[in-house]
C-alpha cells in the first residue's frame, strides 16, 4: 500500500495519516512501512486492517451500540437481531414464541 510514497511524505515531519471528513484516521503509516487503515460509518469504526493481514469487521445498531464483531481469527460475538426473534406462531391452537434463527 505505502501511500506515503505517493504523497512524497517526509517522515521527519511525523507519521503519515489520512483523515475522513469527521477527523477519523482512515490510514496511518509509520516510517518503517507498517500501516493500518480503517473505515467508518456514523463515526463508528466498521472495518480495520493491518499490513500483516489482520482485519476486524464491526456492525452497530441504530443506537450506535456494537452488535457484531468478527476478526480474521473468527467471530468474536454476534448480538444482531435474529430473523424470527419474538414472532409468535400458532400450531394446533397453541401459541409459541420463536427465538433466534430457524
Residue 85 has pLDDT above 70, yes or no: no
Residue 86 has pLDDT above 80, yes or no: no
Residue 26 has pLDDT above 90, yes or no: yes
Give residue-wise pLDDT tens across range 31-66: 999 999 999 999 999 999 999 999 999 999 999 999
Query: Could you tell me if residue 80 is inside a domain?
Result: yes
Residue 24 makes CB contacts below 8 A (sequence gap 6+) with 38, 40, 43, 45
Query: Could you tell me if residue 23 is inside a domain?
Result: yes
Count of domains observed in the chain:
1
Q: Which phi and psi angles does 38 have, rounded to 5°?
A: -140, 155
Query: Could you tell me if residue 69 is inside a domain?
Result: yes
Structural domain span for residue 15: 3-97
Task: Look up the pTM and report it.
Answer: 0.75
Average pLDDT taken over every residue of the chain: 90
Query: Could you tell me if residue 102 is inside a domain?
Result: no
Amino acid at each position: 500500500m505505502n501511500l506515503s510514497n505517493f504523497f512524497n511524505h517526509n517522515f521527519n515531519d511525523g507519521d503519515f495519516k489520512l483523515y475522513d471528513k469527521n477527523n477519523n484516521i482512515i490510514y496511518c503509516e509509520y516510517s518503517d512501512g507498517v500501516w493500518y487503515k480503517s473505515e467508518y460509518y456514523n463515526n463508528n469504526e466498521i472495518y480495520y486492517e493491518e499490513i500483516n493481514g489482520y482485519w476486524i469487521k464491526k456492525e452497530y445498531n441504530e443506537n450506535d451500540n456494537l452488535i457484531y464483531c468478527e476478526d480474521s481469527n473468527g467471530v468474536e460475538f454476534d448480538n444482531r437481531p435474529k430473523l424470527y426473534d419474538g414472532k409468535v406462531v400458532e400450531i394446533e391452537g397453541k401459541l409459541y414464541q420463536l427465538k433466534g434463527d430457524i
